[in-house]
Amino acid sequence: MHQESDIGDRIARLRRRRKLTQEGLAERAGISVDVVRKLEQGVRSTARLTTLNALAGALDVEPSNLVGQPSTFEVRDEQEQPSVLALRQAVSPVADLLGEESDPEESPSLSDLRAALRSTERVRREGRLSEIGALLPQLIKDARAAVRAHTGAEAASAQSVLAEAYQVAATTLTALGKEDAAFTALERAAEAARKGDDPHLEAVGMSSLAWVLTKQGRLADAERVATTAAERIEPRFRSRPVELSVWGILLLRAATAAVRAGRHDTVRELLNLASAAAARIGTDRLDYATPFGPTNVGVAKVNFLVEMEDGAEALRTARSVPELQSLPPTWLARFHVDRALAFSELDKREGAVQALLAAERVAPEWMRYHSTSRRLVTDLRGRERRRVSPVAELADRLGLDGG
């Protein structure tokens, strides 16, 4: 999966389309013109997400248009043909618009449907996106068939499975830079959740929506969606752990948007609330395929410190995060990438490379889709003087063009 061009080429091309000088773009984005120049000249091949969001907003594009992330699935063998088109067709079937009866297949049992959902969610947590691309369209079709085939309580259960399947589709499409299709999937998820039998699914859907909006660069909207949903379900003294978990996840989603908008005081407030929720739970949980507890709050704090350009404090905090083995592979890999970013900021290239290799060991396929990892590897390889080195070999494994 090769990138079409580097980030500097894309910024320069979009800037010229907007008829902006480098100085004009820098002023509009609220960043230093030196950053724009270095990116366009290839002196720098990566930038903070805060900077990328500011540039994307100034250029009137989504951040994914700047970072050059992979836009389709890998294919590992001829039998496995994951397809973005098939996933789009499952999320938005033409039959709905034509009033036709789609998928006249026999409905699976609800137990089989739930098992398929759990399996797909496990694959997603492990970062095996190509497998998701192969499994998910059929899961959505099966869930829709079950909704049509059942009535009453069983139909409501099928709607809940369908809502979660749409949410998985949304996060998968977002990973491929298809944020508009992801938004459609979340609209479908919200409709199914309202008809389902799980009272938490609407809030979980708002968490996913906040993430998609963040990836679109709509940071104020993302923060508002997450905080509004959190206010609606704010836990009480006797709230169950799952309710605290969903609330805490929403707070971290809001904080992610806030940190990328440069609103650091808000980030600290939200992180304090999330930390209190995690302390009340007292252990790490996995609800709706998303971890929450003391470990994930610690990992989130490291991420926020990296975004706030405090690499030294990020590394100190990373050393104190408890129970890292409880994290799903993709969360643990992202933690290592954040460590790598912190090392890179401090010009400790060997530490950055070792952290990236640790991330690859945990979730190798996820790394090949993850735009931040790809940008950082490109940057580190560009600074490497040796033709053969661990970072050059990693770049080859990630399918990055030679530099």
CA nearest neighbour of 140 among 175, 116, 104: 116
For residue 289, CA distances in Å to 47, 53, 333 come to: 30, 27, 16
Q: Is the pLDDT of residue 402 over 60?
A: no
| Amino acid 182: pLDDT | 95
Percentage of residues in the chain having pLDDT higher than 70: 95
| Cβ-based neighbour number of residue 363 at 10 Å | 25
Bridge partners for 287 per DSSP: 290
Q: Could you tell me which residues come within 8 angstroms of residue 22 by beta carbon, excluding any fewer than 6 positions away?
A: 15, 33, 36, 37, 40
Residue given tokens 């026999």 in the structure block: 106
Domains defined for the chain, CATH in brackets: 1-68 (1.10.260.40), 70-198 (no CATH), 203-304 (1.25.40), 328-403 (no CATH)
The three-class DSSP label of residue 76 is coil
The three-class DSSP label of residue 375 is helix
Bridge partners for 80 per DSSP: 77
Q: Supply the Cα-derived Rg of the chain in whole angstroms.
A: 21
| Amino acid 78: pLDDT | 61
Q: Is the pLDDT of residue 79 over 70?
A: no
How far is it, in rounded angstroms, from Cα 271 to Cα 277? 10
**pLDDT per residue over 29-73, tens digit each?**
999 999 999 898 888 777 777 888 889 899 998 887 887 677 888
Helices 390-397 + 371-382 axis angle, to 10: 140
**pLDDT per residue over 229-262, tens digit each?**
999 999 988 899 999 999 999 999 999 999 999 9
Q: What is this structure's pTM?
A: 0.88
Confidence grade of residue 403 (pLDDT, cut at 50, 70, 90): very low
- Picking from 65-79, 132-146, 224-238, 290-304, which range would have the lowest pLDDT averaged per residue? 65-79
The three-class DSSP label of residue 80 is strand
Do residues 192 and 211 touch, judged by C-beta distance below 8 A? Answer: no
Q: How far apart are the first and last CA of the chain?
A: 16
| Amino acid 102: pLDDT | 60
The three-class DSSP label of residue 228 is helix
* DSSP assignment string, 326-362: GS-HHHHHHHHHHHHHHHHHTT-HHHHHHHHHHHHHH
Structure tokens at 82: 């994951």
**pLDDT per residue over 321-365, tens digit each?**
999 999 999 999 999 999 999 999 999 999 999 999 999 999 999
**pLDDT per residue over 172-200, tens digit each?**
999 898 999 999 999 999 999 999 999 99
How far is it, in rounded angstroms, from Cα 376 to Cα 342? 11
How far is it, in rounded angstroms, from Cα 307 to Cα 69? 19
CA nearest neighbour of 186 among 229, 131, 123: 229
Bridge partners for 285 per DSSP: 292
| Amino acid 104: pLDDT | 55
How far is it, in rounded angstroms, from Cα 58 to Cα 29? 5
**pLDDT per residue over 359-391, tens digit each?**
999 999 999 999 899 989 988 998 887 778 999
How far is it, in rounded angstroms, from Cα 13 to Cα 237? 55
Q: Which residue has the higher pLDDT, 70 or 113?
A: 113
Structure tokens at 340: 């790598």
Question: Exposed (0-12), middle (13-18) or buried (19+): which is 203, by Cβ within 10 Å?
Answer: buried
The total number of residues written for the chain in this structure: 403
Q: 122-125 contacts: CB < 8 A, separation 24 or more?
A: 124/168, 124/171, 124/172, 124/289, 124/330, 125/289, 125/328, 125/329, 125/330, 125/331
| Amino acid 4: pLDDT | 42
How far is it, in rounded angstroms, from Cα 247 to Cα 130? 31
